[in-house]
Amino acid sequence: VLLLPVDPDASARSIAAGLRQRLGVEVGVIVSDTLGRAWREGQTDHAIGAGGVQVFEDLRGGTDAEGRPLVVTMPCVADELAAAADLVKGKATRRPVAVVRGRADLVGALDLPGARSIVRPLERDMFRLGADEAYAEGFAAGAAGLMPPEASPRSGGLRPASAGPAA
């Protein structure tokens, strides 16, 4: 059994600090783990800890190649780098480390926000509930008159297909 670090951001910062001191180069470190994703089959690696590397590349306020304004574009580059590194490491090769080059612009101070800042606050988490819990919450809201009738669970509008026939 291999346990994850208690504080993956602190672990990543510690590793980055040690590498910086020993090698004399400024590096960032991402600690990753595998997860599945809502609405998608398969798994990918994602950042669970980050030290000395920006976790987001905030492009809001800029423009795309066609000159259109970027309003919400904020890639989670820590997750993208973790996934790219896993392509080299592989899942079953016993190769726990990959060196990613070409994004030195993302490397910075050791006190940059870590991977913990990637997790959505509960009030913005669209997947905080399982299907049964979401159905029950929607049903309760419909029964309390908080939903228009066409969206009521009784009409079948909110009931997941896997939940069986509507009541």
Q: Tens digits of per-residue pLDDT, 107-141?
A: 999 999 999 999 998 888 878 888 888 888 888 88
Residues 13 and 56 in one domain: yes
Per-residue tens of pLDDT for the chain, all 167 residues:
678 899 999 999 999 999 999 999 999 999 999 999 888 999 999 999 999 999 999 999 999 999 999 999 999 999 999 999 999 998 888 899 999 999 999 999 999 999 999 999 888 887 888 888 888 888 888 777 765 555 544 444 444 444 444 44
Question: Could you tell me if 115 and 136 lie in one domain?
Answer: no
> Where residue 90 sits, what CATH number does that domain have?
3.30.1330.100
**Same domain membership, residue 59 and residue 138:** no
150, 151, 153, 154 alpha-carbon torsion, rounded to 10°: -10
Give me the number of domains the chain comprises: 2
Measured CA to CA, the distance from residue 125 to residue 139 in angstroms comes to: 19
Residue 63 lies in a domain: yes
Distance (Å, whole) CA 69 – CA 81: 25
My answer on whether 61 and 112 are in the same domain is yes
Residues 148 and 82 in one domain: no
Residues 54 and 113 in one domain: yes
Domain-embedded: residue 70: yes
Q: What is the pLDDT of residue 130?
A: 81
